[in-house]
Amino acid sequence: MKMRKEQKIELASGVAKSIKTAEGLILTSYKGLKFTQLDEIRRSIKADGNDFRVIKNTLLKKALISCDIKELDNYLAESTAVVIVQKDFAAAAKSVKKYAKDFDNFGVKAGLLDSKLLNESEIGRIADLPSREQLLAQVLATMNAPVQNFVSLMANIPRSMLNVLNAIKDTKQG
């Protein structure tokens, strides 16, 4: 079913609104994937609070132009799907990387994070980063280590004193 011009304009403006509030974008290629595979990818990415759209390159280009984004123009060729990252760019990158391994016909073209163009390998490196929760746990453990060491040191003083007293007691009894 062909879209009318008004529907195309409405779709492009809706995508543009999503892009304006987005943390970043990831362009992917999907040529040759089955609908069930695309649906699996879409559901997974939407579960993380992000959006996955299969959209014509001309409509995506119009949406990007209305958001004053020109860095991705060279990547709008062949079949393109866009991940509009609203919450966690690293989680979206992890999902995209996972599906790129699972499906031969799915891959990363490029991305945009904080107005910086990212290539496939940079998105892969972001995907390999620990999750936000893991990073927070590591920072907390690093901050907590000196306090734990101090408490352990202070607990060793009475323990050492007790060991000395027990040794003196043992020598006097023997």
pLDDT tens digit string along 118-164? 888 899 898 888 877 888 898 888 898 888 888 888 888 888 888 88
Q: What is the pLDDT of residues 65-120, one digit of tens each?
A: 888 888 888 888 888 899 999 888 888 899 999 999 988 888 899 999 888 888 88
Same domain for 45 and 103, yes or no, is yes
For residue 86, what are the domain limits?
Answer: 5-129
Pair (104, 168) in one structural domain: no
Residue 109 and residue 135 in one domain: no
Stated length of the chain: 174
CATH of the domain at 97: 3.30.70.1730
Q: Are residues 155 and 77 in the same domain?
A: no
Domain boundary among 113, 129, 145: 129
Please list, in sequence order, all residues whose beta carbon lies within 8 angstroms of the beta carbon of residue 159, skipping any fewer than 6 positions away: none
Same domain, 111 and 169: no
Helix axes of 89-102 and 120-128: crossing angle, nearest 10 degrees: 110
- Alpha carbon of 5 to those of 59, 67, 118, 149: distances in Å? 11, 20, 32, 68
Q: Please count the structural domains in the chain.
A: 2
Judge if 52 and 41 occupy the same domain: yes
